[in-house]
C-alpha cells in the first residue's frame, strides 16, 4: 500500500516512522515533509494549506490511505475534499474539526453534552472585553478563539496582564484574525494531562495518556509554546481514570456531534486539568498532538496503519490497543527567539551521533537541508524521544542525546519528566 501523510513537523515525522514500519506499506509519501522526513519518505513540495495541490497529488499517487497531521488543513476541509473523491482518509471533516478551530464552538458543544469545562465569556469587541475585566476575579485565561499554532493562550495573574493580553489580541493582532474573537475563562487549578482517543464515529479507543509542557522555560515559566516536551504514561492518570475521562468527555462529545449530524473520525485530543473537583476540559484538538505523538507512538505495539484504516472505515471495534511496558520521554529543541520568533539557517551538528543511541528516536520538526547539512528552519527544531523501563532511564537517554546536538541559539527545557523520575526514587 502507498500512504500519503500531510504535514511537516515532528508529529508527522513520528507518524511517518510508525507508518514506514508497517508490513502493509510499500511506499510512504509526505507533503511537504521536512529534511528528516525525506530520509524515510518521498517528499513533495506542496504546502499543507494548498488543498487543490494536495488533491492533485493524491489523484496522481492514488494512495490507499491519506493521513492529515496538522489542524489548519482539517479545519479548511481537506478531509472532506479527499473523501468526496473516494479516498480513504484519517482525520475529521471540517465540521468536526471546528472543535479545535473554534474554542467557542467547542464550549457550546461541551455545554450541550454536559462535559465539564471552565466558565467563560466571549468577546468580539475590545472595549467590552476590557470592561469585563473589572467584574471578575483573577487569575484568568485569555484565549484567541481561532487557530493560533498553540500560542493563543495567555494566563493572566492580575488585571494588568489581562489588559496586556487583550491588547495583544485585539490591538497588536499578534494572532491575526484568530485573536479578534476572544474567550476569557476562569483559570483552573490542578495538574494538566492529555488524553487522546481514536474514533471511527462510534467506537472510541483511548491512547495512553501523556503530559506535555507548554511554557518555554524550566519550572513552567515564560510564554506558552506549541509544547517543549512530553512524557508517557502519566503515573497520576491510571487506566481507571482514563476510562472515566472517556465516558465523561470523549463519548458525550462525539455523541453530541452525531446528534448535530457531524461524524468524528480520527483522533479526539482532550487537554485536561485534573482539579480537586475532577477532570475539566481545557481544550480540544482534532488530530494527534505535538509533542504528545512523539511520546505516545514509540510505546504503541499495534500497527498504526491498521488502526487508522479502521478509523476511516468504521471498524475500530475489532481492535484492541497494546502498549510497551516502557516509559517515553520527549525533549523539544527549539531555535533562538522561539516562541516569539524563530531562527533559520543555523547549522545543526551531532545528529549522526544522536541518532545512534539505543532506545532513542530523533524526530525532525523545523529543519531543512543545505549543502548536505541539516539547518534550522522553524521554531521547534527537533523532538528527541527515548524509551526505557523507568522514567529515570528514559530521561537520561533523552538528555544524553540532546547533549550531542548543537546549533546556535538552541533552547530546551531541562526539567522534562523530572517529577515522575523523582517518584521512582
Confidence of residue 425 (pLDDT cuts 50, 70, 90): low
Give the per-residue pLDDT at 178.
87
Instruction: Give start-end residues of each CATH 3.30.1490.20 domain in the chain.
Output: 119-186
Distances, alpha carbon 137 to alpha carbons 43, 119, 140, 321, 335, in Å:
50, 12, 7, 44, 36
Instruction: Give start-end residues of each CATH 3.90.600.10 domain in the chain.
Output: 327-424
One DSSP character per residue, 298-350 reads GGB-S-HHHHHHHHHHT-GGG----B-S-EEEEEEEE-TTTTT---EEEEPB-
Distances, alpha carbon 197 to alpha carbons 54, 160, 245, in Å:
26, 38, 10
- 200/266 Cα distance (integer angstroms): 7
Q: What is the pLDDT of residues 160-187, one digit of tens each?
A: 999 999 999 999 998 999 889 999 999 9
What is the mean predicted confidence (pLDDT) over 243-259?
98
Q: What is the pLDDT of residues 289-337, one digit of tens each?
A: 999 999 999 999 999 999 999 999 999 999 999 999 999 999 999 999 9
Give the per-residue pLDDT at 150.
67
Query: Measuring CA to CA, which residue among 323, 318, 327, 340 is closest to residue 398?
Result: 327
Residue 235 CB neighbour total at 10 angstroms: 14
What is the mean predicted confidence (pLDDT) over 348-367?
88
The answer to whether the CB of 32 falls within 8 A of the CB of 72 is: no
Cα atoms in the Cβ-side hemisphere of radius 13 Å centred on 76: 14
247, pLDDT greater than 80: yes
**Mean pLDDT of the residues in the chain:** 95
Instruction: Give start-end residues of each CATH 3.30.470.20 domain in the chain.
Output: 189-318
- 33/30 Cα distance (integer angstroms): 5
Give the per-residue pLDDT at 154.
87
- 178/200 Cα distance (integer angstroms): 29
Strands (E) located in 162-248: 182-186, 191-200, 204-206, 211-212, 215-217, 221-224, 229-232
Q: What is the pLDDT of residues 367-420, one digit of tens each?
A: 999 999 999 999 999 999 999 999 999 999 999 999 999 999 999 999 999 999
CATH 3.40.50.20 fits 2-94, yes or no: yes
CATH topology of domain 327-424: 3.90.600
Give the per-residue pLDDT at 423.
84
Instruction: Give start-end residues of each CATH 3.40.50.20 domain in the chain.
Output: 2-94
The answer to whether the CB of 344 falls within 8 A of the CB of 365 is: no
All three cell numbers of 1: 500500500
How are beta strands 380-388 and 27-32 bridged, if at all? unpaired
Q: What is the pLDDT of residues 46-94, one digit of tens each?
A: 999 999 999 999 999 999 999 999 999 999 999 999 999 999 999 999 9
The owner of cell 516509559 is 327
CATH topology of domain 189-318: D-amino Acid Aminotransferase; Chain A, domain 1 (3.30.470)
CATH topology of domain 119-186: Dna Ligase; domain 1 (3.30.1490)
Amino acid at each position: 500500500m502507498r500512504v500519503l501523510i500531510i504535514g511537516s513537523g515532528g508529529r508527522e515525522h513520528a507518524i511517518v516512522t510508525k507508518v514506514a514500519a508497517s508490513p502493509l506499506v510499500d511506499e510512504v509519501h509526505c507533503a511537504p515533509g521536512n529534511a528528516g522526513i525525506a530520509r524515510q519518505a518521498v517528499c513533495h513540495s506542496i504546502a499543507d494549506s494548498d488543498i487543490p495541490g494536495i488533491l492533485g497529488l493524491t489523484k496522481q499517487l492514488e494512495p490507499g490511505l491519506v493521513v492529515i497531521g496538522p489542524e489548519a488543513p482539517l479545519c479548511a476541509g481537506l478531509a472532506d475534499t479527499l473523501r468526496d473523491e473516494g479516498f480513504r482518509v484519517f482525520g475529521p471533516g471540517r465540521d468536526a474539526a471546528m472543535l479545535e478551530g473554534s474554542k467557542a464552538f467547542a464550549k457550546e458543544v461541551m455545554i450541550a453534552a454536559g462535559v465539564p469545562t471552565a466558565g467563560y465569556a466571549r468577546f468580539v469587541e475590545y472595549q467590552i472585553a476590557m470592561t469585563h475585566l473589572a467584574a471578575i476575579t483573577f487569575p484568568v485565561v485569555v484565549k484567541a478563539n481561532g487557530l493560533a499554532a498553540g500560542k493563543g493562550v495567555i494566563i493572566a495573574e492580575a488585571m494588568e496582564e489581562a489588559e496586556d493580553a487583550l491588547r495583544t489580541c485585539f490591538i497588536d493582532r499578534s494572532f491575526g484574525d484568530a485573536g479578534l474573537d476572544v474567550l476569557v475563562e476562569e483559570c483552573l487549578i490542578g495538574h494538566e494531562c492529555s488524553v487522546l482517543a481514536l474514533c471511527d464515529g462510534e467506537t472510541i479507543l483511548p491512547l495512553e495518556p501523556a503530559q506535555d509542557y507548554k511554557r518555554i522555560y524550566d519550572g513552567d515559566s515564560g510564554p506558552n509554546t506549541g509544547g517543549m516536551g512530553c512524557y508517557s504514561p502519566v503515573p497520576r492518570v491510571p487506566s481507571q481514570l482514563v476510562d472515566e475521562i472517556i465516558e465523561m468527555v470523549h463519548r458525550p462529545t462525539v455523541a453530541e456531534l452525531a446528534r448535530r449530524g457531524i461524524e468524528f473520525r480520527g483522533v479526539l485530543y482532550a487537554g485536561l486539568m485534573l482539579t480537586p473537583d475532577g477532570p475539566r476540559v481545557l481544550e480540544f484538538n482534532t488530530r494527534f498532538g505535538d509533542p504528545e505523538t512523539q511520546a505516545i507512538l514509540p510505546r504503541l505495539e499495534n500497527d498504526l496503519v491498521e488502526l487508522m484504516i479502521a478509523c476511516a472505515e468504521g471498524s475500530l471495534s475489532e481492535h484492541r490497543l497494546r502498549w510497551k511496558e516502557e516509559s517515553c520521554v520527549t525533549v523539544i529543541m527549539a531555535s533562538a527567539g522561539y516562541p516569539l520568533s524563530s531562527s533559520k539557517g543555523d547549522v545543526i551538528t551531532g545528529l549522526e551521533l544522536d541518532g545512534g543511541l539505543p532506545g532513542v528516536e530523533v524526530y525532525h520538526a523545523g529543519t531543512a537541508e543545505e549543502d548536505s547539512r541539516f539547518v534550522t528552519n522553524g521554531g521547534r527544531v527537533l523532538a528527541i524521544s527515548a524509551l526505557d523501563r523507568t522514567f529515570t532511564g528514559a530521561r537520561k537517554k533523552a538528555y544524553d542525546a540532546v547533549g550531542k546536538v548543537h546549533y546556535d541559539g538552541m533552547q530546551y527545557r531541562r526539567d522534562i519528566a523530572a517529577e515522575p523520575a523523582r517518584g521512582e526514587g
